[in-house]
Structure 1
Amino acid sequence: MRYIKTLVLALAGTVLLTSAAQAFDTRATAAYVLDQTTGTVLLSKNADTPLPPASMSKLMTLNMLFEALRDGRVTLDTEFSVSTRAKNMGGSTMFLNETDRPTVRDLIQGIVVLSGNDACVVVAEGLAGTEDAFARSMNERAKALGMTGSTFANASGWPNPAHRMSMKDLAILADRLISEFPEYYGYFGEAEYDYDGRAPQNRFNRNPLLKMGVGADGLKTGHTAEAGYGLVGSAVQGARRVIVVISGLNSEAERAQEGEQLINWAFRQFVQKTVVTKGTRLTEADIWLGAERRVGLVAEQDLSVVVPATIQDQVQAEIVYETPLSAPIAEGQQIGTLVVKLPDMQDVSVPLVAERAVAKGGFLPRIRTAAEVLLRRLQAQAG
C-alpha cells in the first residue's frame, strides 16, 4: 500500500528580500530561466518549441570540441587545417584562410568571442571529416544528452530549415558546459580576442551581460533575420548561479535589457533555503516480519530549494513510501521520497533511506505479527 504523510518543514535561514516573486512578463518570444545551483526552473515560455537558434547553437559545436579534448582526441595545441569552404563562410568570422593552422585554443576563442562561422567549419571538418558528418554526430549526441527539441544541419547555426533548438535544450547544454567542463568554461568570459591581428575593430565579445556588473561569465549570443536576437547567459551571485535563455528579441539593445532584467529578477525575487540536511530523521515506517517493528527514514542528502523571497518560513511536504516495509532492510536502502511542494513552482524531491539495517525476524516476531494480523481481522469483523 502506498502511504503518503503530509508535514510542514521549517526553512533554515532568514529571508533577505521583501519584494514579491511575480512572474516575469518577458518580451522574448521564447525564454527559459534556470536556477542552476538547485535545478529549479524559474521561468518557462515556449521553452520546448524548436526554434532557429542562430549562433547560440555554436554551444553544441563547442561541446563536441570539449568532449574531444576530454577524451584525448585533441589537445589545446592541436592544429587544424582550413578548407576553402571554411574560408568562404560569410557572417561572423575569424578571417581564416587556407594557409592558416589555427590551434584548438585559437578556434575556441574564435567561436566564443568572435562567433566565427569559419572556425566552426574548421572544427567540424577537423573532428568528423565533413560538416555534414559532424552535424550527424551532433544530432546523435544531442539525443543522448536528452535534448529532445534539437536538430542540427550545420556547425555554425547558419540558417537552415532543419536546424532547430528549444530554449530548454540550450539551457541543458549551458548547464553541461558549466558543470562538465570547468577547465574550459573560462573562455566564455573573455572580453576580446583578435586572431593574428586581423580584426582589431571586431575583437570584442558580443555578450552584453559581461560588462553589466551582474556576475555574468558566459555564454553566447545569436542573431539572424529569422531568429531575431537571442542570448544564452549565465551569472553568479553569492552561492547561486542562474542560466537565462531568450530568443526572438527585436534588437541588440532589447536583448541586452531583457537579459539583464531576467538575471536581476532571478536573483532578487528568489532566495535559496535549506529544507532538510543529510541524515535528518523525518518519520518512521512499520516493518513486516522484521527483527524490529519500525525503522527511521532519513534524508539521503541535503536538500536546498529556491523559493519566492516572501514565502512563509515553512513549506508543505509529503513523505511517500510503500507500507508495510518487508524485512530484511539494509542501512541506507532507499525506502521513500520526500516531495517538497512549492507555490507555483515545480515539486522538489530527495530520497529517504533506512536509518539502520533491520534483519528478518525469527520465530517470536513472526508469531507476534500473525497475532496482530488476526486481531485486526477480528476487530474488522466485529465492527
Structure 2
Amino acid sequence: MNTLIKSLLAAAALSTSAGAASADRAPIEPLVPPPEVPIALLVDLSSGQTLYSREPDRRFMPASITKVMTVFTAFEMIDAGKISPSQEVIFSEPTWNDWHGVGSTMFLELNQRVTIDALLRGITTVSANDGAAALGVGLAGSLDRWVDRMNATARSIGMHDSHFGTPNGWMDEGRTFVTARDLVTLATAMITRHPDLYERYFGHKRLKFNGFEQRNHDPVTGVVDGADGIKTGFTNQAGYGFLGSAERDGRRLVMVIGGAPTSRIQKQSSRSFLEWGFQAFEGHPLFAAGTVVGEARVQGGAQRSVSLVAERPIGYDLPIGQTGKVELTIHYQGPLRAPVAKGEQVAELEIAVEGLRTSRVPLVAASDVDEANLAERLVNGVVALF
C-alpha cells in the first residue's frame, strides 16, 4: 500500500501563500515563447519541476547524444570499482577498420593503447566516434555486448522508452531512439550519482590528443553562465539536438531540444531556453543536502523508523513576481522492510506548487537499519500493542 505522510515542517518553510492566487487558478503559462523546435523539455533538478515541455515523450533519434549513455555506463562501472580511469584498452584492428576517420574523431591510431580517462575526455569534448567504439569493445569485448550493457543500464534508471543500437549514435536505421523525458532521466542520474566524474569530464572547451587540438561544439559552455555541457547530436535523419545543463545560484537546470532544422537554431534555442529558465523563474530553497525531511516506519528492524534525508539541495520554482501555496508530502511503500542501507533511496518528496505541475524528488535513508534480533523483535511487538 502506498503510504503518505504529510511533512511536519514549519508553515513558513512550506508556503508563500500570503497573497497567493485562488486554488482554481489556471496553470501558469510560460513568459516567453518556447524554442522553435519540435521537441523541448526543461527541468529543475532541485525541485524536479518541469518548467516547460513540448512533446516530451515523442521518440526521436539522438545521434551523438547517444554517447552520454556510453559515458554514464562507464561512470557506473568506475564508481562500482569494476574499472579504473587509468586502465588501458587497445584500439584493435577490427575496431579501427570500422571506425577510423568515421565522423567526429579523436584520431586514435591502429593498435594504440589508450586509457579510459583519455577516451572519456575524447567522447565528452569532441564527440569521438572512434573513442566510443574503442571504449565499448575494450570494456565489453564487443560492441554488441557493450550495447547490451548500455540498454540494461538505461532500464535500471528508468529510461523506459529508449533503446540504443550503437555506442555513439551513428545511423542504424532507427534502432536507436530516445525521448526528451528519458534524456532528462539520464542526465539527472549522471549528475546526481557521479558529480565528481561529471565535473571531471564535461564542460571542457578543447581537447589536445595525438598531436591534434580540437574544440568542443557545445553551444552553451562558456556562453551561458553556469553551463557545463552536456552533448550535441546531429545526423541528416535526426536533425540537430542538444542535451544541456547549467547550475546557477543553487539551481541546476537540465534541458533537451530535438529535431532543430539547422545548427543556428540549435545553438540559439539551447542558449535562450536555459537563460529563460533562470530568468523567468525564481528558486526558493527548502532543504540543504543532508537535511532530515521526515521519517519512514520500518518493519522487522532494530529500529522502528528511519530518518529520511535530502540527497541533494531541494527547493521549488515560481515564476518571477508570483506567489503560490506549497504543499509537501512524503511517499513510500511502507512500512519499509529491514535491512535498510544508509543512502538507499526509499522515499520521494512530492512538491505541489499552486499553479504548476506536481513534482517529486528522491529521499534516502539517513542510517543503516539492521534486521531485528529476537529481543528487539519482542520489544517491537510489545510496543506495537500499545
TM-score by length of 1: 0.73
Identity among equivalent pairs (%): 28
1:346 positional shift = 2.4
Residue 133 (structure 1) aligned with residue 138 (structure 2): no
Alpha-carbon separation, structure 2, partners of 1:35 and 1:317: 18
Q: Return the offset for 1:72.
A: 2.3
Map residues 77-226 of structure 1 onto 2, 5 A cutoff. 77-88=86-97, 89=99, 90-160=102-172, 161-186=174-199, 187-197=201-211, 199-200=212-213, 203-226=214-237
For the 8 Å contact 1:20–1:308, the answer to whether it is kept is no
Return the offset for 1:112.
0.8
Letter in 2 for 1:154: T
Q: How many residues align?
A: 317
SS of equivalent to 2:210 = helix
> Per-residue displacement from partner, 1:228-271 (whole Å, max 9, x unpaired)?
11111111111111011111112222111101111111111111
1:20 Cα deviation after fit: 8.2
Whole-angstrom CA distance in 2 between matches of 1:234 and 1:140: 24
Query: How much has 1:69 moved relative to structure 2?
Result: 1.5
SS in 2 for 1:59: helix
Q: Hey, what's the Cα distance between the residues in 1 that align with 2:77 and 2:293?
A: 42
| 3-state SS in 1 of match to 2:243 | strand
Deviation at 1:25, TM superposition (A): 2.2
Aligned-pair distance for 1:303? 6.0
Cα gap change, 1:111 to 1:345, in 2 (>3 Å): same
Q: Could you tell me how far apart the structure 1 residues matched to 2:108 and 2:152 are? A: 29
**C-alpha separation between the residues in 2 aligned to 1:159 and 1:105?**
26
Give the aligned residue type for 1:168.
R
The alpha carbon displacement at 1:275 in A equals 6.1
**1:97 to partner: Cα distance:** 2.2
User: Aligned match of 2:325 in 297, 301, 315?
Assistant: 315
Answer whether contact 1:23 1:43 (CA < 8 A) is retained. no
Give the stretch that moved more between structures: 145-154 or 178-187. 178-187
CA contact (8 A) 2:89 2:138 kept: yes
Mapped to 1, the partners of 2:179 and 2:190 lie a distance apart of 17
Any conservation in 2 of the 1:20–1:269 contact (CA below 8 Å)?
no
Who wins on radius of gyration, i.e. which is larger? 1
State the superposition RMSD in angstroms: 3.6
Whole-angstrom CA distance in 1 between matches of 2:243 and 2:360: 25
* Shift, 1:274, TM fit: 4.4
User: Out of 13, 16, 40, which is 1:11 matched to?
Assistant: 16
141 and 315 in structure 1: CA distance in 2 versus 1, 3 angstrom threshold? same
Contact 2:15–2:326 under 8 Å retained in 1: no
Q: What are the superposed Cα offsets for residues 312-355 of structure 1, whole Å, 9 maximum, x if unpaired?
A: 2x41648799xxxxxxxxxxxx9xx976343142256899xxxx
**In the alignment, residue 258 of structure 1 is paired with which amino acid?**
S
- Structure 1 residues without counterparts, runs of 5 or longer: 14-18, 282-297, 322-333, 352-358, 363-383
Instruction: Map 1:172-321 to 2 at 5 A.
Output: 172-186=185-199, 187-197=201-211, 199-200=212-213, 203-274=214-285, 304-312=315-323, 314-315=324-325, 317=327
- C-alpha change, 1:10 and 1:318, in structure 2 (3 Å) is closer
In 2, Cα distance between equivalents of 1:37 and 1:217: 17
Q: TM-score, normalised by structure 2?
A: 0.72
2:163 maps to a residue whose letter is: T
Q: Is the 8 A contact 1:340 1:349 kept in 2?
A: no
Amino acid at match of 1:193: L
Query: Following TM superposition, by how much is the alpha carbon of 1:46 offset from its aligned partner in structure 2, in angstroms?
Result: 1.3
Query: CA–CA distance in 2 between the matches of 1:319 and 1:37?
Result: 16
Residues 176 and 280 from structure 1, CA distance in 2 versus in 1: closer, same or farther, beyond 3 angstroms?
closer
Secondary structure of the 2:88 match is: coil
CA distance in structure 2 between the aligned counterparts of 1:276 and 1:183, rounded to whole angstroms: 22
Distance 1:274 1:98, change over 3 A: closer
Distance 1:3 1:50 in 2: 34
Deviation at 1:11, TM superposition (A): 2.4
* Cα distance in 1 between the residues matched to 2:292 and 2:130: 53
Residues 1:347 and 1:360: Cα distance change in structure 2 (over 3 Å): same
Residue 225 of structure 1: CA displacement? 0.5
Structure 2 unaligned regions, length at least 5 = 19-27, 295-306, 332-345, 364-382
Change (3 A) 1:85 1:171: farther
Match of 1:217, SS state, is strand
Alpha-carbon offset, residue 300 of structure 1: 7.8
